[in-house]
Amino acid sequence: MLAGSLLSWAVFAQQPVLVSPQTADSLLRNVPAIQLLDVRTAGEFASGHLRNARNLDVRDPEFEKKLAQLDPKRPLVVYCLVGGRSAKAAETLAKAGFTLVYDMQGGFAKWSGSGMPIEEGATPPKGGMTLDEFTRLTAAGKPVLVDFYAKWCAPCQKMLPTVKKLEKEMASQVRIITLDYDQNRQLAQQLGIDSIPAFLMYKDGKVHWKTMGMVEEKEFRTQIKAVQ
């Protein structure tokens, strides 16, 4: 019923429809001939993806040409890791004449973080930190500020200069570590990280502060002082 009502409403929509992972799951289960598009890189796709998804990297210069592989008349769900790239892809799809485009908010991170089924890829991420290693890291010594980021994430890259500045200026008060989300996806899921950039402040192994998105330098300093 939910999928049907969304489908009927979207016929008149001029823009992509934002849906939650749960609604996307309902659409994928109940809407006939629906298409599923993963617009992350081939490497990300290979480390795990939604079942039956087709992979077309939205940052590929040939992305628009490759859309010819899809049927613009059939409904389509598009996703990336956290939502930024899928929003761009959904807009491109709509302009290209796709009539029913659903943009899954929160992307693969929100989907997998909610415990929903995924298809493990042929090349799972390597070199990531285990939960035991992370627990030991955050349990001993001075407070620890953890930054989950990704190289392709524009807000993450925008935050890095501030993070590096604080790492240098406040080294005596806090240990700051940056963790690549793509290499530490399993750890991020275990910690409930479903959006990046994400920041967690630990003292004696306990989380004292957790936030996601852009953060002002002043707020970082306030949180660091609060755990002294």
Q: How far is CA 77 from the centre of its chain?
A: 16
- Tally Cβ neighbours within 10 Å of residue 38: 26
What mean pLDDT is predicted for residues 10-24? 80
Residue 101 has pLDDT above 50, yes or no: yes
The residue to which tokens 């409930």 are assigned: 192
Q: Could you read off the pLDDT of 185-206 as tens digits, one per residue?
A: 889 888 988 888 999 999 999 9
Residue 75 is given by DSSP the state -
Dig out the tokens for 42 from the structure. 């081939």
List of E strands, 20-106: 35-38, 54-55, 76-79, 101-104
- The backbone torsions φ and ψ at residue 40, rounded to the nearest 5 degrees and listed phi first, read -80, 180
Catalytic residue among 156, 166, 170, 176: 156
Q: Which fold has domain 2-113?
A: Oxidized Rhodanese; domain 1 (3.40.250)
Residue 102 has pLDDT above 70, yes or no: yes
The reply to whether 156 belongs to the active site is yes
Q: Could you read off the pLDDT of 55-82 as tens digits, one per residue?
A: 999 999 999 999 999 999 999 999 998 8
Residue 11 has pLDDT above 50, yes or no: no
The pLDDT assigned to 14 comes to: 62
The pLDDT assigned to 69 comes to: 95
**Contact of 182 with 121, CB cutoff 8 Å:** no
**Contact of 195 with 82, CB cutoff 8 Å:** yes
Give the pairing of strands 17-19 and 101-104.
parallel
Give the confidence band of 9 by pLDDT, cuts at 50, 70, 90: very low
The reply to whether 80 belongs to the active site is no
Give the confidence band of 214 by pLDDT, cuts at 50, 70, 90: very high
Ramachandran category for residue 13: left, alpha or beta (phi over 0 → left; psi -120 to 50 → alpha) = beta
Residue 23 is given by DSSP the state H
Going from N- to C-terminal start, the domains of the chain cover 2-113, 131-226
The pLDDT assigned to 124 comes to: 54
Q: Could you read off the pLDDT of 127-168 as tens digits, one per residue?
A: 689 999 999 999 978 999 999 998 878 889 999 999 999 999
| Candidates 3.30.70.360, 1.20.120.450, 3.40.30.10, 1.10.4080.10; CATH matching 131-226 | 3.40.30.10
Catalytic residue among 153, 176, 224, 227: 153
